[in-house]
Amino acid sequence: MAKSKTPELTLENLPEIGLRVLTSFGLAAAVLALLTLVTLMGTLNQIEEGLIDSTAKYFESAWIVDTVPIGNVTIPVFLPGGYLLLAILFFNILAGTILKIRRNWKAIGLYVSHIGILILIFSSFVTRHFAWEGNMALRPGMQSSEALHYRNWQLEILPIDEKGEANKALVIPYADLETIGWKGERTFTSEELPFEIRISHAARNATPIPVSAPMSAQSDGPVIEGFKLLPLPKEKEAERNSAGFYADFIPKSGGEKIPAILWAHLGGNFAQVKPFTFEVDGKKFAAQVVRERMPIPFTIKLDQFLFEKYAGVMTAKNYQSNITKLEDGTEEKIEVKMNEPFRHRGYTFFQASFGPPNAGPDDELYTVFTVWKNPSDHWPLFSLIVTFVGLLAHMGWKLAEHLRRSTRIA
């Protein structure tokens, strides 16, 4: 695109001016500088608020509205967030690549490297919106075909049959619960249930507390059977938060509402959840707050967990899970190690950790896999290859040109 004089600011010229701004180096430089600043602030914020909250506030947000204490002064901050900045950068690079880079063989490296960066930014978008991350903990001999989310909780309503068993669960997902807040209220209903569920006083981290405890004064929630729900400060490690809220089960037939305090039991990897049980119109139900579940279309069985530590210290040298994949009546033996995950049908199992904590030498260990379902799993690798090839081609061409010029001068 030939360089021409900047058009006057008139209505007709707006599209051209807009395009010039969008493809400009100035926009790229400004966005990159703001991204640097936001990255710095989001990094420092992790000391106070931990990784998850800082990521949400600085990197996954469209706008950052915050205050930053510097000495005794608190400075208000209003900045575009990482999400918005990356989106602008994406379109800046896209438009710049299409319209600004000269169309000849010499510029091929630039095209390719910019396309690589576009793939990278797009893959981060796909991960942000379509990836799911959870974990699966297994003891030797145990098998499972579902993973549990690290941080998200959901409310499950379980109709109980005559045998006292629950065969299905109706779920209120985390996304619907987290936005209610302590002051808010929302009512949920289902044709399959003879009652409505009114949720209020929702907190991401909370615990029930007897009204006799002095700290109960800090909660303005209602008292139910001598207990209140006490909202707690959010933990720095987000997976240690225990969500809680008040629930009223209101019979559609017009009977009296059944109030309850529901909260998540952290209780470790294999903790048994004790649900809240109640009866409406002579039918029994149970309600429980559990981690969000992701069903997996095959089964993983842990055959053996191997742990090796360095002699004389607690530093782990290696840990490995020997598993069997059970699918459609077939079995496959697989080893999952650190740096060697197992991938199958879009799901990836990583050797994340093991437990129990402070296990003795004779204690049976269990394994914990991080389970990911990410459509853009390998895109960063493609992006790297493309970007690297592009940079190499461009710098190689520049070097050849430099050498040619040097030879000519000589």
Partner 1 sequence: MNRFLLALLLLASGGNAPAAYAPWPKEAIDSFSRIPVLSEGRIKPLQIVAYYTLLELNGRTSLKTRIGGETAKLSASEWLMDAVFRPELSKDYPIFLVDDTAAVGSIGIDRAGKKKRDRFTYNELLPGRSQLANLAAGYAQKKSREEKLTALEEQILILGSKVNDYEMLVSSFSAAQPSRLINTAMLPPDMTTLAAKMNLSEFLGIAPKLPVEGIEAMMGQDRSQMSEDQRSVLTAMMLVYFFHKTGTALTLFPPADDARKEWISMGELIGNAIGKEKTERSWELERLGLVEKVAQSTSDPAAFASSMEALRSKIQEDANTRKEASQIGTEIKLYNGKYLDNAKVWFIAAFVFVVLIWLGPMSTPGKVFTMLAIWCGVLGFGSLVTGMMLRSQIRGWAPITNLYETFLFISAATFVFGLVFERSNQQRIALSAGIFVPMVCLILSGQFLLISPEDTLPPLVAVLRSNFWLTTHVITVTLGYAAGLLAAVTASIWIIARFFRVAEDRRDVYRDMTKMTYGIILFSLLFSLVGTVLGGIWANYSWGRFWGWDPKENGALMIVLWTLVILHARLGGYIRDIGLHAMAVLQGVIISFSWFGVNAMGVGLHSYGFIAGIWKALGIAWAIMAVILTMAAGLKFREPQSPARSEAANLPRTRGATAI
Instruction: Report the chain's terminal Cα–Cα distance, integer Å.
Output: 35
What whole-number distance in Å separates Cα of residue 201 and Cα of residue 95?
47
**302 in Cβ contact with 141 (< 8 Å):** yes
Q: Which of 19, 44, 62, 400 binds partner 1 (CB under 8 A)?
A: 44
Half-sphere exposure in the Cβ direction for 276 (13 Å, CA): 20
Residue type, 274: K
Closest approach of partner 1 to the CB of residue 225, in Å: 34
Interaction of residue 152 with partner 1, rule CB under 8 A: no
- Pairing state of beta strands 195-203 and 283-309? unpaired
> CB neighbours of 30 closer than 8 A, spacing ≥ 6?
none
> CB neighbours of 196 closer than 8 A, spacing ≥ 6?
187, 188, 189, 249, 250, 252
Q: Which of 316, 359, 400, 403 binds partner 1 (CB under 8 A)?
A: 316
Considering beta carbons, is residue 277 or 374 the nearer one to partner 1? 374
| Span 318-377, contacts to partner 1 by CB under 8 A | 318-319, 338-341, 348, 350, 352, 370-372, 374, 377
Cis peptide before 356 (omega within 30 of 0): yes
Per rule CB under 8 A, count of chain residues that contact partner 1: 69
Interaction of residue 399 with partner 1, rule CB under 8 A: no
Considering beta carbons, is residue 32 or 273 the nearer one to partner 1? 32
Interaction of residue 46 with partner 1, rule CB under 8 A: yes
CB atoms within 10 A of CB 134: 21
Q: Which of 123, 152, 154, 367 binds partner 1 (CB under 8 A)?
A: 123
Interaction of residue 62 with partner 1, rule CB under 8 A: no
| Span 130-149, contacts to partner 1 by CB under 8 A | 133
Considering beta carbons, is residue 72 or 406 the nearer one to partner 1? 406
Q: Which of 68, 98, 359, 381 binds partner 1 (CB under 8 A)?
A: 381
Considering beta carbons, is residue 277 or 353 the nearer one to partner 1? 353
Which region among 7-15, 95-103, 136-144, 166-174 touches partner 1 (by CB under 8 A)?
95-103
Interaction of residue 15 with partner 1, rule CB under 8 A: no
Interaction of residue 315 with partner 1, rule CB under 8 A: yes
What's the chain's length in residues?
A: 410
Interaction of residue 113 with partner 1, rule CB under 8 A: yes
Interaction of residue 36 with partner 1, rule CB under 8 A: yes
Interaction of residue 33 with partner 1, rule CB under 8 A: yes
Q: What is the CA radius of gyration of the chain?
A: 28
What whole-number distance in Å separates Cα of residue 42 and Cα of residue 30?
18
**336 in Cβ contact with 323 (< 8 Å):** yes
Closest approach of partner 1 to the CB of residue 296, in Å: 15
What whole-number distance in Å separates Cα of residue 254 and Cα of residue 117?
59
What whole-number distance in Å separates Cα of residue 124 and Cα of residue 326?
32
Q: Which of 11, 70, 75, 313 binds partner 1 (CB under 8 A)?
A: 313
Q: Which of 21, 99, 106, 213 binds partner 1 (CB under 8 A)?
A: 106
**150 in Cβ contact with 133 (< 8 Å):** yes
Considering beta carbons, is residue 128 or 265 the nearer one to partner 1? 128
What whole-number distance in Å separates Cα of residue 5 and Cα of residue 351?
58
Closest approach of partner 1 to the CB of residue 6, in Å: 13
Interaction of residue 98 with partner 1, rule CB under 8 A: no
Residue with the two structure tokens 């400004």: 30
Interaction of residue 21 with partner 1, rule CB under 8 A: no
Q: What phi, psi does 201 have (nearest 5°)? A: 50, 55
DSSP one-letter code for 103: -
Q: Residue 289 is encoded by which pair of tokens?
A: 């707050």
Considering beta carbons, is residue 252 or 317 the nearer one to partner 1? 317
Helices H / strands E in the chain, number of each: 6, 18
Considering beta carbons, is residue 246 or 349 the nearer one to partner 1? 349
| Span 194-223, contacts to partner 1 by CB under 8 A | none
∠ CA 292-294-300, nearest 5°, is: 130
Residues that bind partner 1 (CB under 8 A): 1, 3, 24-26, 28-29, 32-33, 35-36, 39-40, 42-44, 46-47, 50-51, 54-55, 59, 100-102, 104, 106-107, 110, 113-114, 120, 123-124, 127, 133, 236, 310-313, 315-319, 338-341, 348, 350, 352, 370-372, 374, 377, 380-381, 383-384, 387-388, 391, 394-395, 398
